[in-house]
């Protein structure tokens, strides 16, 4: 994997500095075990390079449902689509089963925090629906939040359930306060406002892959929130579809391009200037040190949850209950 580093940054106060890594990797598509191994290896590499935080793309574990738009995914009661979904479900991540335990152990050993996009198979919703979830693991190896995507986008609605506000959380890491959103929910003004109100100043946006997604929204969020913005994507190539996958034949039959998702991971500063411009078409580990002092300087100009807000006129209520269909009382 290529390592790309931002220009060396001198931080006046050591406590203001944070080194972050964006791991733009491809899954071993819909193979949970093999993909988790790749994620762990990338995490170890990031830690070796001195990163305090490593971020991965949306639904990377075990992979984004690229088959839906390429195989007539909207055909009702179709035998192939049911077969494909069953395989996807089988490879889903069950947190309660310990599927992320090896990664949590890695985070603890390497003393590095992790943001990772997973396909969560949720026992608390019956165990047969998948959610695009963004998981934060702290540098002690503890899972601190699991944010289920509020609203799947377009064809995603055929295979993903709608999430809730339970995971709209902020996490302290060094001088920074972290929070994250999945893919197009980064365009939701109120979801962003919830994170601003929680104090987020390092915004992590995760994507399945595509410069067309990351290029504009990273700058928009940075300037709106006067925050550092991570936009980290997966990569998906035809070669990443395992020979053993039951979906391989159907995917190849649609004559897909050699690259289905071209990455586009990037890092934007709170002044709207690139720290790392979008990187496309290759697996890479992007590394940069950021300085909290720069953020504080930009908040002098605009602080949407602070001195530039009018809570007496405009306010937001956020329900962070984990939504369930059944509540048992024993």
Query: Domains along the chain?
Result: 2-299 (3.60.110.10)
Q: How far is CA 63 from CA 8, 45, 171, 187, 201, in A?
A: 33, 21, 26, 22, 28
Dihedral, 21, 153, 135, 65 alpha carbons, nearest 10: -80
Look up the pTM and report it.
Answer: 0.96
Across the range 44-71, mean pLDDT stands at 96
Q: Look-up: residue for tokens 């024993």?
A: 330
289 is catalytic: no
Across the range 219-225, mean pLDDT stands at 97
1 CB contacts (<8 Å, ≥6 apart)? 25, 42, 45, 283, 284, 285
Convert the pLDDT of each residue in 177-203 to its tens digit.
Answer: 999 999 999 999 999 999 999 999 999
Do the beta carbons of residue 47 and residue 112 sit within 8 Å?
A: yes
Phi and psi torsions of 72, nearest 5°: 65, 50
Secondary structure letter of residue 6 according to DSSP: P
Considering 38, 149, 289, 294, which one is annotated as catalytic? 149
For the purposes of burial, counting CB atoms within 10 Å of the CB of 241, is it exposed (0-12), middle (13-18) or buried (19 or more)? Answer: buried
149 is catalytic: yes
Convert the pLDDT of each residue in 244-298 to its tens digit.
Answer: 888 899 889 988 899 999 999 999 999 999 999 999 999 999 999 999 999 999 9
Across the range 16-41, mean pLDDT stands at 97
183 is catalytic: yes
Gap between the Cα atoms of 15 and 24, Å rounded: 27
Across the range 26-36, mean pLDDT stands at 96
pLDDT at 234: 96
pLDDT at 198: 97
Instruction: Count other C-beta atoms under 10 Å from residue 281's C-beta.
Output: 14
Considering 58, 120, 185, 283, which one is annotated as catalytic? 58
* Of the candidates 19, 3, 83, the residue with the CA atom closest to the CA atom of residue 291: 19
Across the range 203-231, mean pLDDT stands at 96
Instruction: Count other C-beta atoms under 10 Å from residue 71's C-beta.
Output: 17
Considering 183, 283, 289, 298, which one is annotated as catalytic? 183
């Amino acid at each position: 994997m290529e390592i790309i580093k931002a220009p060396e940054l001198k931080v006046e106060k050591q406590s203001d500095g944070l080194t972050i890594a964006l791991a733009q990797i491809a899954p071993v598509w819909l193979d949970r075990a093999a993909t988790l191994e790749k994620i762990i290896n990338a995490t170890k590499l990031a830690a070796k390079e001195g990163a305090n935080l490593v971020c991965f793309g949306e639904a990377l574990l075990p992979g984004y449902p690229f088959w839906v738009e390429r195989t007539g995914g909207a055909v009702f009661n179709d035998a192939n689509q049911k077969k494909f979904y069953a395989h996807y479900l089988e490879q889903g991540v069950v947190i309660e089963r310990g599927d992320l335990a090896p990664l949590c152990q890695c985070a603890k050993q390497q003393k590095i925090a992790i943001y990772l996009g997973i396909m969560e198979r949720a026992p608390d919703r019956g165990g047969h629906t998948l959610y695009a979830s963004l998981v934060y693991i702290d540098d002690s190896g503890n899972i601190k939040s699991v944010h289920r995507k509020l609203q799947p986008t377009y064809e995603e609605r055929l295979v993903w359930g709608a999430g809730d506000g339970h995971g709209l959380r902020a996490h302290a890491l060094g001088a920074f306060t972290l929070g994250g959103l999945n893919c197009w929910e980064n365009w939701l003004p109120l979801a962003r406002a919830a994170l601003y109100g929680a104090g987020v100043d390092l915004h992590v946006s995760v994507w399945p892959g595509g410069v067309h997604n990351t290029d504009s929204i990273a700058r928009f969020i940075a300037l709106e929130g006067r925050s550092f913005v991570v936009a980290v994507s997966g990569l998906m190539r035809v070669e990443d579809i395992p020979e053993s996958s039951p979906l391989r034949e159907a995917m190849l039959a649609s004559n897909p391009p050699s690259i289905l998702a071209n990455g586009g991971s990037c890092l934007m500063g709170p002044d709207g200037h690139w720290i790392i411009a979008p990187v496309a078409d290759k697996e890479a580990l992007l590394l940069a040190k950021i300085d909290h002092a720069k953020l504080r300087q930009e908040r002098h100009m605009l602080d949407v949850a602070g001195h530039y807000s009018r809570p007496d006129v405009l306010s937001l209520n956020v329900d962070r209950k984990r939504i369930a269909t059944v509540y048992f009382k024993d």
